[in-house]
Amino acid sequence: MIEDYIDKIMQGTRKLILCGHYKDYVREVPFMASLAEWMTAQGWRSTTNDRYPNSNMIPDMTSSNLDRTCTVVCEEKHYVRSYPTEKRKYRTWNASTIKQYLGIADGKKINAVHDVTHKLGLVKSTHVAFLLVRVEAQCNPGDDDINKFIIRAALSDDRWIRNDLEWDHPTDPAYRFFVHFWIRPAS
């Protein structure tokens, strides 16, 4: 069952980006709403409106298979190291800001590391997952930052299963998309 979820989430993320949702690649809420719709159409009932247990926080997406024997709570972040400027006119991200957003530099309290260590830590009896969508210029790779994130978020732990995809940006081959996905099965 987990393998099917992993396959669907990776397919859905790539499909949404390739069919024009790459304009939302730094807008978490509309991207996850579109991914929840796609996952539901693929047989995984998905919503962006559930709450964490004993908390006011809302996960980015909760999915269940048709017979509800498998539930996955998923958090998502975008890591935009660099991007074609015509795609994102209203925000410029500098190196310090993106590192804070990822959680590998101090300054931003709610960040990707927080999502993994705190939010997903609230979930005890179900599967949890973290989706990281990354875009960058090929001349400005962010592998070192991703490795720091993995260490800080403790995603290298044997309990996490990792999957990755990468491909050229649909309209500008100087840029690449990466999808990093980790899932921790319920214990």
- How many Å apart are CA 155 and CA 5, to the nearest integer? 19
Tokens read off for 55: 């908390």
DSSP E strand stretches across the chain = 44-47, 61-65, 71-80, 127-137, 161-168, 175-184
The pTM for the full model equals 0.89
State the pLDDT at residue 92: 46
Q: Are 32 and 73 in contact (CB under 8 A)?
A: no
Predicted pLDDT of residue 85: 55
Judge contact between 21 and 31, C-beta under 8 A: yes
Q: Report the distance separating Cα 78 and Cα 98, nearest Å.
A: 10
* Residue pair 5/44 in contact by the 8 Å Cβ criterion: yes
* pLDDT in single tens digits along all 187 residues of the chain: 899 999 999 999 999 888 865 555 557 888 899 999 999 999 999 999 998 888 888 999 999 999 999 999 999 998 877 765 555 544 445 667 888 889 998 888 889 999 999 999 889 889 999 999 888 888 888 899 999 999 999 999 899 999 999 998 877 788 888 999 999 999 7
